Structure 1
């Protein structure tokens, strides 16, 4: 699909008012995207596990208004007005108005909440923008009931990307690929697609425990970080590496090769942070406890032969990935050895999920 495919024809229905609610999960990339072109186009392809527990629930109450010249909305975060979030939502709505021409016809009350603690250090932009996009697409589908499900999902992912790049990978599950890749049919820079190849059962029930090493705001925003890939001395090699790793991941996922999975995923995580440490200006988002956790994971894996590994996002927190068959032993290890390195001993047990779901009133 191209951008023109997401431009709607005349709507079949009219709506005076209504309310929709969707819940969308976060995701964690296995092959990372770092660096982008306007507007929200990834510099390299990526793939992620869709999560389950870490999610945003968003409701939109909408009512037709007389003034159809301006965007109009109120925003409530966990029941309270959230003025500092409004500029980002305003920018998002302005960016997508071409594709959703009904936006200026209604006043919206957007109510949103996260299943994880605010300022926990977990990026909420992916789940938040995915949930918001699903709500808006739900309204458009009511205006145009003949819309096909495939178009609905692809356009929701397309819109979510325009709010937060990685949000396009939170619409479906359990593995979502984003970014044009010559060996992945249907792949696109414009939206995420369910991974089209065979995935061994072991990866369909994978666990992810998020170790909350640092719960404050990141010292460098992802937007700034992505922009630092422009003129980065290692950028071209990194973009090529990501594509190669996606090729190498195909037989790993098909066969259930846990050793190959561990090597590739941990290398990707460390490469992401290497890009940050070698940009100009350079920065380090890992904390001392991040490194302590990584070393303990390596030691534990060597001693027990249990196939546990880590990945990182653009922050200090550690995602501990492991098969469900090892859940009991790994979670004992977390409690005994890793929790002391987390802020206030906090962590969140999560698992691979199936994507966004509608919440009926």
Structure 2
């Protein structure tokens, strides 16, 4: 499929006013992407667990106006106007206008709320941009005469979300989503995320993710800046190959339920991601001392108990603690006694794999 496939035919219907609401989850990448090109396209394929409890709810209200030269919208977070978010939304609208050409025909009110603290290091851009993309697609669905299939709807929503935040392409469906063209995964695409279509062992269908909030402030270096630093990175090509190779290795692991090998791949991916940050120019470190202490304690606990608990990291200081559901009681007890003291204000969020976004009824 090519980008042109997402340019709609002329609209045959009109809408005067209304609103639509979607809830969309965050996700946690198991194989990371770090480095992109063109219009938010990844330099390597990635795969993620869709989360369940960490989500964004967005209501998009619209009212038809005389078309203007600019976009008319306001953004509200938790019922409070957030003008600081609006430049990012404007840039998003500029990127997607070709694919949703009704944007300047309406004045929009974007009301959003997260189930997790803003700037907590959880991918709010993924859940937020995907929820907004789904709202826009729901409006477009009412403007066209032809029937839009669920598959095309999800692909276009992921395609649009990607243009706002790369990882948002992986938040439309679940529980395992691949984004980026990969030779071993049929149907994979750089343009949108696709459901992982191969066999998955039952142990990975209910995997748990407890997010330890080590640092709840804004990151010192944005993901956009970090991705751009990969253009001249001395280890970039080796990293892209490593990620794609790890995704190949993960296919039989997911099928056979090989948790020990899953741990090796996932933890290596997390550390490789941060190694790219530490070896770019300029270099930077997003991990905090408490991040390293938590990792060390997870390793020690695993060695002493035989647990299958492991960690992964996004581009930040917080730690995602991954483990099979059968170990939930014991791992949560370990987190409460040994890891909670290293979380800011003792905060952590319990989550698990989810099935993706869903439309909200009024």
The answer for the alignment partner of 2:361 in structure 1 is 360
What's the offset of the Cα at 1:14? 1.6
1:109 aligns with 2:109: yes
Matches within 5 A, 1:278-317: 278-317=279-318
Q: Report the equivalent of 1:88.
A: 88
Cα distance per residue 1:98-151 (max 9 Å; x no partner): 000111111111101100012323231111000000000010111125111111
**Number of the residue aligned with 2:48:** 48
Give the TM-score, by structure 1 length.
0.99
Q: Measure the CA separation in 2 of the matches of 1:67 and 1:284.
A: 46
Helix, strand or coil at the partner of 1:229: helix
Q: Which residue of the partner structure matches residue 161 of structure 2? A: 160
Could you tell me which runs of 5 or more consecutive residues in structure 2 were left unpaired when the two chains were aligned.
Answer: none
Residue 232 of structure 1 is matched in structure 2 by 233
Gaps of 5+ in 1: none
Inter-partner Cα distance in structure 1 for 2:123 and 2:176? 18
**Alpha-carbon distance between aligned partners in 1 of 2:10 and 2:277, rounded to the nearest angstrom:** 46
Q: Distance in 2 between matches of 1:334 and 1:241?
A: 31
1:267 equivalent in structure 2: 268
Distance 2:75 2:59 in 1: 10
Distance in 1 of aligned mates of 2:243 and 2:121:
25
- Number of the residue aligned with 1:194: 195
Shift of 1:230: 0.9
Equivalent positions of 1:247-266 (< 5 A) are 247-266=248-267
CA distance in 2 between counterparts of 1:119 and 1:221 reads 12
1:38: Cα distance to partner? 1.7
Shift of 1:68: 4.1
TM-score where L is the length of structure 2: 0.98
For these two proteins, the number of residue pairs brought into alignment is 361
Runs of 4+ in 1 over 6 A off after TM superposition: none
2:39 paired with 1:39: yes
Query: Do the aligned residues in 2 keep the contact of 1:35 with 1:43 (CA within 8 Å)?
Result: yes
Cα pair 1:199 1:254 within 8 Å, conserved: yes
